[in-house]
Structure 1
């Protein structure tokens, strides 16, 4: 009995290596574009939620799958909500990435009076705000009211007395973060390093970001 199936010619080694490299590049691009990305916290603007030296993962598909070339959402997966901690392109320099918490949603009127955040004229539930200075600084602690435009968001750092956020960008760049500039939602701390003591904060590793 004869096997009439012809043996397929074997691929040359260089082609197998090239295909493996190409598939690895494609997979890396898919993960970076629609999967998760790692970020490191360089400042204290999100204390106590996030500390300097925290390393975190950001889900880039939390709000939908984007076209990597135009930032247009191809498959919606939900809208950013108040309280979400997001990484986004800094409005004053799009080459830099910032991390803050969303406080004002599209169409809402945001105001800060004496450190208290008001949404549409009512004080908002704000368990995230952290204050180290009891004095009232009019530039920092009294703001607005302003209406958040459609498809944009008002963001603040949890360390309210030491955060460069929408309150301070307002006069120059409108103070709002466009939806297309949101890179993703932070969801977990995977590593934490205390620079002054060169120690690992094992107790923070694995903490979910809320």
Structure 2
């Protein structure tokens, strides 16, 4: 079952929601700490990497940054659902990609690909209970997994379909990463492309049958 996150992209004091969602992405901030994307780091080494790049004025600020970065980079998974907050409006999206570093000039370099689950944003007052009372938050990112079934019901998504969707996305991602992590001889490239196309076609057919595309 996917997790559900409530997320506030107020990066470096600037609300970046519209810009990032227009590119089908979300971001964490802390962009100078590029080494955090090293998946071999232990949590201790991960925190040390962040501390080496940023000077924190208080332990509270340091601990919050550590928690937010670890959550976004390590705990959040492909298929998880995120409510992205802008003022009193929420956009509901699904995570579709692993963290990547982008060459940009602002504090949005560490990003994840997403897909919007609704084309419109929803005002807090128009959300059903218990979403309305539990999505008022101040931290940048908080897990609200106990709300997942309420969110799925609000979005009209069957829980079993949500699980299938998350598993299918993860399988497709692993396939693409595997085929992209080796040097493939030119004579084999066409075979690989055709195999991937066959798998993708089967995936999309499966999703179509469940009404998830």
TM-score range, shorter chain: under 0.3
* Higher strand residue share: 1
TM-score, normalised to structure 2's length? 0.28
Larger radius of gyration: 1
TM-score computed with the length of structure 1 as normaliser: 0.28
Greater relative CO, 1 or 2 (CA 8 Å, sep 6+): 2
